[in-house]
Amino acid sequence: MSDRIGLADVLGHRDRIGAEIDRKIAEVVAHGKWIMGPEVAEFEAACESFIGSPEVQALGCSNGTDALVLAMQALGLQRGGVVICPAFTFVATAESVVSLGGVPVFADVEPTGFNLSAESVRQAAKVAQDAGLTVDGICAVDLFGLPADYEQLAAVADELGCWLLADAAQSFGAEHGGKRVGALATMTTTSFFPAKPLGCYGDGGMIFTDDVEMAEVIRSLRVHGKGTDKYDNVRIGQNSRLDTLQAAILLPKLGILDDELAARDRVAARYEAALGGVLTTPGLPDNGRSAWAQYTVVVEERDSVQAALSEAGIATAVYYPKPLHWQSGYKHFHLEDIDLARTEWLTSRVLSLPMHPYMKDEQQDRVIAEVLTAVG
Ligand SMILES: *Cc1c(COP(=O)(O)O)cnc(C)c1O
């Protein structure tokens, strides 16, 4: 029996930069500035240069969910405020709306691909307005690592007179039209959860914005709504800082992210070459690049393919088995007249295959061979 093949490999980078990371950790332990220490500002600056758009500021925070909460608070979401988001996403996208007392309204994803559909946002807004609701914002998600269509979505946001937020928890490092994620929307959030394209050794997150005033508000919100200092409280904030230790770990990891993204591109291209004609592989727009947080295929016989792969010692996952409008905690938010057919169709057909920068060709060939046999 050959070795088990995992979906991701959070330790893969250790051979390459493990010693450097351990040295960084030791430095932080020794200097003792564990809250908002110098590595936090250093990492924020490194992320700003990585994105490469001089006007974009990077603001570290405790995790990708808090990043969404901080961003929506800065954008002005208040109790009862309505935010349109995809039904096909991780729960944090809608949870952050609800935690501020807002109301998520679920819209569908594109007819091909997995990202929020501008057409569906228009329909959802119409249904919400007919129900007497005013739309405050749209939260798009770069599902599985591919940026949503921010040009189209920004046009809809303009029509509706609302804000647009990018939940880029899965897409840090991805690009569209030569611009990096972080510079594709006025406000973007990401996550450094270990299994994300850029992961730390615990929880971490970041907010990107080119709006100078909102950046100042977020700096205040993440430290208890501080004014001149945290004992001067000018607004109601929260405790949502990025740990110095996590920033120190992320610095060397950011240094190899471009290499890791290239390795993920290579794995994706090998899957595409072998599986493209057999099942529905993830498409890429001409001017887009995914961070490949997941490599997700669409296949009719999903459950039997997954069972066969599991039998062969290959890990797969279903993201997401239950869309948000079917979740017990969220189904009461669903407005019945909004068509979520594409989300529901995907739910029983998506399968994420092993994808990480350290996958060996032999391992990937085994995955491919098992998939081909299973769909055969
Ligand atoms: C992971 C994720 C989040 C939340 O990030 P955490 O750091 O785990 O809080 C939010 N949105 C999406 C789409 C995610 O995949």
Q: Which atom of ligand 1 is nearest to the CA of 93?
A: 11
Q: Distances in Å between the alpha carbon of 324 and those of 71, 88, 132, 332? A: 21, 7, 22, 10
Please work out, in degrees rounded to the nearest 5, the angle formed at the alpha carbon of residue 222 by the alpha carbons of 116 and 226: 140
Note the pLDDT tens digit of each residue in 294-346.
999 999 999 999 999 999 999 999 999 999 999 999 999 999 999 999 999 99
- Which residues have CB under 6 Å of ligand 1? 63-65, 89-90, 92-93, 141, 167, 169-170, 191, 193, 203, 205
Q: Which atom of ligand 1 is nearest to the CA of 192?
A: 7
Q: What is the pLDDT of residue 2?
A: 64
Would you say residue 1 has pLDDT above 60? no
Nearest CA to ligand 1 atom 14: 169
Note the pLDDT tens digit of each residue in 156-196.
999 999 999 999 999 999 999 999 999 999 999 999 999 99
Task: Compute the distance from residue 92 Cα to the ligand 1 centre, in Å.
Answer: 6
pTM here?
Answer: 0.98
**88 near 326, Cβ under 8 Å?**
no
Note the pLDDT tens digit of each residue in 253-307.
999 999 999 999 999 999 999 999 999 999 899 899 999 999 999 999 999 999 9
Q: Which atom of ligand 1 is nearest to the CA of 191?
A: 7
Task: Compute the distance from residue 204 Cα to the ligand 1 centre, in Å.
Answer: 10
Q: Distances in Å between the alpha carbon of 161 and those of 35, 102, 132, 155, 281? A: 39, 17, 16, 10, 36
Task: Compute the distance from residue 169 Cα to the ligand 1 centre, in Å.
Answer: 5
Q: Which atom of ligand 1 is nearest to the CA of 67?
A: 9
Task: Compute the distance from residue 159 Cα to the ligand 1 centre, in Å.
Answer: 28
Would you say residue 371 has pLDDT above 90? yes
Distance in angstroms (rounded) separating the CA atoms of residues 261 and 372 = 26
Task: Compute the distance from residue 193 Cα to the ligand 1 centre, in Å.
Answer: 7
Note the pLDDT tens digit of each residue in 37-48.
999 999 999 999
Cis upstream peptide for 320 (omega within 30°)? yes
Task: Compute the distance from residue 66 Cα to the ligand 1 centre, in Å.
Answer: 9
Nearest CA to ligand 1 atom 5: 64
Residue written as token pair 């996208």 = 93
| Percentage of the chain modeled with pLDDT above 70 | 99
Which of 90, 95, 115, 146, when mutated, tests ligand 1's pocket best, judged by the most ligand atoms within 8 Å of its CB?
A: 90
